[in-house]
Chains A and B, each alone.
Chain A
């Protein structure tokens, strides 16, 4: 595919922003993205904005024009909603728009406010990403759904809670130097094992936190970058998306994520790369088991072998294939509608060499981002490459 360049990235700190409306969070992310890109706001031709539960959390629908105002751009603005893959879809459409020649500059990203709701209401809100008739009414919570997948995984391929605890510990360690991360503190494997249960076999440290935050990316065409002397060394060379049956129980296999398989296959094909070419990955670890499933769908590990990767050190910062050097959703935080954009922002920084963890991947040329919605009823995968 014709590539699209990431000219600039902007993030808010992820965490609790009790006194800031969503529009203010997105304004900050956009401000930082424009500053990073050196691209004037007036050149933006479209805004693609991801958000999931804003109507519940802020009583605010129709957020896209509001966010155009907040970012200071005047152009067609559309909200994309695909649960926790909302921003991933927004970015994908920005890339496709630029690659198709329909625009030279698109602002893409997302925002979510979650901490202003009580935990029970957030749990209810997140459960909206599951099938209301067949799952939510039957008692499935969002952690509960991933717990069902974890039990099925252990049954099919082996593995145990302690393996998942290694995923949590690794991602917390990665978050320590990341200035945008919600939890910049280490968590030991034993800490994770001892945490209270949320939905067995998942305990507190198997789950990502409740997070406020925003992400923004300035995506430009290579021609625009050349003409305007914009420094944009990282290209999105492949994008793919997949869909699966909404209810987990309706799927052929309860411990695999074919929507992500499909998304990865399409993204790799578009980029002309294979899983073996990947140097670094940011994957959707909303729960520790989700990271395992993601790495298998991306082809980084064979089915059934992803469970041991963190324990064996393969996916740690100093391992052969670092996964979630940002800290992941687990420790960096998961403002659901912003997450997909955040992953690409982090991957861009890692590939450019200006991420605090870039030292762990000094020669990385190919990165992959995996963003999932619901129990991976939706999935978006992007391939990023160093183009210059």
Chain B
């Protein structure tokens, strides 16, 4: 997590230089980069509740500090849907499978690739690996799951 120093609050924005972009956050981006490198982690509070950054407090119980615990990157599909009508950011990705995956201390939501969206290969309980790939529509980084090899 980054410190919340006043100097980091960003007063020097040249509005003329700004172009529309998704909301971003350095802590979240750091987490995405780590996940992409196979070094994903969860933030865990003293009571053992997991969450994903950015967090200052545990969203479940309000406690702190939060420590980083490594994720092994393999999880279980808890639920899924095949999205046929996308938002503009996913126009060229559809149809795609969106899934909520249990990674242990946290669940993550992302797109499940490596399966046939029109078929019936996806089911609750499927083992998947979590990583980061690009959205087809605009190349932005995206949480992606793929079936564990051999499944």
Q: Residues on A close to B: CB < 8 A?
A: 119-121, 123-124, 127, 132-141, 143-144, 147-152, 155, 196-202, 245, 247-250, 254
Contacts and interface: CB of A to CB of B under 8 A. Distances in A.
B98 A124 contact: no
Nearest to B91: A120
B98 A148 contact: yes
Contacts of A120: 86-88, 91
B142 interface: yes
B13 to A, nearest CB: 20
Nearest to B96: A139
Interface string B81-97: 11111111111010010
Given A139-B110, A139-B142, A249-B107, A152 B83 contact: no
Contact of A123 (B79, B80, B87): B87
A249 B76 CA distance: 13
A69 to B, nearest CB: 31
Given A250-B59, A254-B78, A254-B79, A141 B86 contact: yes
Interface of B: 22-23, 25, 28, 51-52, 59, 78-91, 93, 96, 98-100, 106-111, 124, 140, 142-143
Contacts of B143: 137-138
Contact of B85 (A136, A143, A248): A143
A139 to B, nearest CB: 5
Given A139-B110, A254-B100, A124 B25 contact: no
B105 to A, nearest CB: 12
Contacts of B109: 134-135, 138, 140, 247-249
A127 B87 contact: yes
A199 B142 contact: no
B84 A196 contact: yes
Given A139-B90, A139-B142, A248-B109, A149 B83 contact: no
A200 B96 CA distance: 10
B111 A151 contact: no
B135 to A, nearest CB: 8
A247 B25 CA distance: 17
Given A121-B88, A136-B87, A139-B142, 10 more contacts: A134-B52, A138-B110, A141-B86, A141-B87, A144-B83, A148-B80, A151-B124, A199-B84, A245-B59, A248-B100
Contacts of B79: 148-149, 151-152, 155, 254
Contacts of A124: 87-89
A133 B98 contact: no
B75 to A, nearest CB: 11
B25 A133 contact: yes
Nearest to B110: A138
A293 to B, nearest CB: 14
A150 B96 CA distance: 17
Contact of B84 (A134, A197, A249): A197
A143 B25 CA distance: 26
A133 B28 contact: yes
Contact of A138 (B78, B81, B111): B111
A335 B151 CA distance: 44
A25 B109 CA distance: 38
Contacts of B111: 138-139
Contacts of B23: 132-133
28 contacts: A120-B91, A121-B88, A123-B87, A124-B88, A132-B22, A133-B23, A137-B140, A138-B111, A139-B90, A139-B98, A140-B109, A141-B83, A141-B90, A143-B83, A143-B85, A144-B98, A147-B81, A148-B79, A148-B100, A151-B79, A151-B80, A197-B84, A199-B98, A200-B82, A249-B108, A250-B106, A254-B78, A254-B79
